[in-house]
């Protein structure tokens, strides 16, 4: 029943968002509330890869390199062909925009039902490194004349390199133009322990555990894997590692199984030390210990992209696991359009709209060893934005 309802919501026009003229033309109603969905983004085609890498490698919020203005472009150019090949192997591009738009439509459909007082709701996608960019989303939001705008990070766990970079980009956008006085802004910067987020991961894990023979099922090692972070950022006080761990703990509490579990880290870039143990090394190490049944859980990603479809599925589950002698390894799907996840998104936003706060003290508090004037200026901007 849930699947049928979800499908109908995706395919049918919503009466709360549009109406038919006498000529039969569908005309959009003005949205009252905008939901700006922040994420990193990914190239839809291999032609976008070079510019995508260039933006990442020159963004000091994401990665800090010596002589970055020169070294960043050099690394991007050097890696372009290799990364293009990886995207070709997963269908020619990232599905993250498709999934984000699907999630956005389902989220706003749910909000229209839950909160008619703030409807119609409309989602806007603001990617960091590929179109639609931050400026695209906020320009459209202003043109649509929304009364309330919720900036909603699609990274459940906050990091200065991810959510922080997107926030800085918003602040940069409004350095060059006047903030609209008729829009009330607010911010959801993190939501790592929301019970429905934990529940959807628990449901996804259960699906994979059921694929193992009952004789070994309770001893399958659950490896929660998340994008790693430079130890320099961890030492500075970035909250990401403990927020990821909090999501893991909430998921295991919801799952209620006896299986052992560990948190491991993937996607290291560059020569500096990053959070360990690395996911591929953990797979090899458990094989040596005789633990040859594993489940990989991408706990910090809400939709499929290259780090799940290629790094986890092809590089780790197919290549590393096979070479290590793993007998069975299963990779848990990201939340995508799972009904429980859409319910999580809707509840996060609905509770925020009803109870606030417009801006959390956690976001306003800088890391104890933060020396970034850009970070300080960005937080001051958002305080003024929500209190104007």
Indicate the domain borders of the chain.
Answer: 2-41+95-192+339-387, 195-331
Report the chain's mean pLDDT, rounded to a whole number: 92
Strand boundaries in 238-335, DSSP class E: 261-266, 293-298, 328-331
pTM of structure: 0.91
Looking at residue 92, its pLDDT comes to 97
- The rounded distance, in Å, linking the Cα atoms of 247 and 35 is 23
Does position 270 have pLDDT exceeding 80, yes or no? no
Domain 2-41+95-192+339-387 falls in which CATH fold?
Answer: Rossmann fold (3.40.50)
Structure tokens at 106: 């389902």
Return the higher-pLDDT residue of 225 and 29: 225
Does position 16 have pLDDT exceeding 70, yes or no? no
pLDDT, one tens digit per residue, over 297-350 is 999 999 999 999 999 999 999 999 999 999 999 999 999 999 999 999 999 999
Do 195-331 and 2-41+95-192+339-387 have the same topology in CATH? yes
Query: Domain 195-331 - what CATH class?
Result: alpha beta
pLDDT, one tens digit per residue, over 164-183 is 999 999 999 999 899 999 99
User: Is there a contact between 23 and 49 (Cβ–Cβ < 8 Å)?
Assistant: no
Q: Compute the average pLDDT of residues 97-110.
A: 98
Please return the burial class of 100, using the count of CB atoms within 10 Å of its CB with bins 0-12, 13-18 and 19+: buried
Structure tokens at 348: 């996060």
What is the set of active-site residues?
Answer: 194, 347
Structure tokens at 286: 């458990």
Looking at residue 13, its pLDDT comes to 34
Other C-beta atoms within 10 Å of 375: how many?
Answer: 18
Looking at residue 10, its pLDDT comes to 37
Question: Coil, helix or strand for 95?
Answer: coil
Least confident of 25-39, 190-204, 264-278, 348-362: 25-39
Confidence of residue 269 (pLDDT cuts 50, 70, 90): confident
Does position 9 have pLDDT exceeding 90, yes or no? no
Residue 139: CB partners within 8 Å, gap ≥ 6? none
Q: Compute the average pLDDT of residues 266-292.
A: 95
User: Is there a contact between 346 and 114 (Cβ–Cβ < 8 Å)?
Assistant: yes
Residue 376: CB partners within 8 Å, gap ≥ 6? 366, 370
Does position 142 have pLDDT exceeding 70, yes or no? yes
pLDDT, one tens digit per residue, over 58-67 is 998 888 888 8
Looking at residue 28, its pLDDT comes to 63
Q: Compute the average pLDDT of residues 21-45.
A: 78
Which secondary-structure segment (H or E) carries 32?
A: none
Contacts 24+ apart (CB under 8 A), 211-215: 211/328, 211/330, 212/293, 212/328, 212/330
Count how many residues are written for the chain. Answer: 388
pLDDT, one tens digit per residue, over 224-239 is 999 999 999 999 999 9
H helices then E strands: how many in the chain? 15, 10
């Amino acid at each position: 029943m849930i699947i049928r309802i979800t499908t109908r919501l995706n395919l049918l026009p919503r009466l709360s968002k549009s109406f038919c003229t006498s000529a039969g033309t569908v005309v959009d109603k003005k949205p009252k509330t905008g939901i700006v969905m922040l994420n990193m983004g990914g190239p839809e085609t291999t032609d976008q890869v070079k510019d995508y890498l260039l933006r990442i490698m020159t963004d000091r919020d994401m990665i800090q390199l010596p002589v970055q203005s020169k070294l960043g472009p050099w690394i991007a150019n050097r890696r372009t062909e290799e990364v293009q090949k990886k995207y070709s192997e997963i269908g020619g591009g990232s599905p993250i925009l498709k999934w984000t738009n699907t999630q956005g439509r389902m989220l706003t459909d749910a909000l229209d039902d839950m909160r008619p007082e703030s409807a119609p709701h409309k989602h806007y996608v603001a990617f960091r490194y590929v179109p639609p960019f931050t400026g695209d989303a906020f320009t459209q939001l202003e043109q649509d004349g929304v009364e309330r705008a919720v900036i909603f990070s699609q990274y459940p766990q906050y990091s200065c390199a991810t959510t922080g970079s997107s926030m800085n980009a918003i602040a940069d956008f409004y350095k060059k133009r006047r903030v609209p006085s008729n829009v009330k802004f607010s911010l959801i910067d993190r939501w790592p322990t929301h019970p429905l987020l934990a529940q959807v991961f628990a449901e996804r894990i259960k699906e994979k555990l059921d694929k193992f023979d009952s004789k070994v099922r309770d001893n399958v090692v659950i490896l929660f894997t998340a994008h790693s972070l430079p130890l320099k950022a961890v030492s500075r006080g970035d909250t990401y590692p403990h927020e990821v761990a909090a999501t893991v703990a909430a998921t295991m509490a919801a799952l209620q199984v006896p299986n052992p579990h560990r948190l491991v880290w993937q996607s290291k870039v560059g020569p500096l030390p990053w959070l360990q143990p690395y996911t591929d090394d953990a797979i090899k190490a458990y094989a040596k210990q005789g633990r040859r049944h594993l489940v990989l859980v991408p706990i910090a990603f809400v939709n499929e992209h290259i780090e799940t479809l290629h790094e986890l599925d092809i590089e780790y589950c197919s290549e590393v696991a096979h070479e290590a002698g793993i007998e069975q390894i299963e990779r848990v799907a990201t939340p995508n359009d799972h009904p429980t996840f859409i319910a999580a998104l809707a509840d996060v936003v609905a509770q925020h709209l009803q109870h606030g706060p417009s801006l959390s003290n956690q976001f306003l508090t800088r890391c104890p060893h933060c020396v970034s004037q850009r970070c300080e200026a960005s937080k001051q901007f958002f305080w003024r934005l929500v209190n104007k």
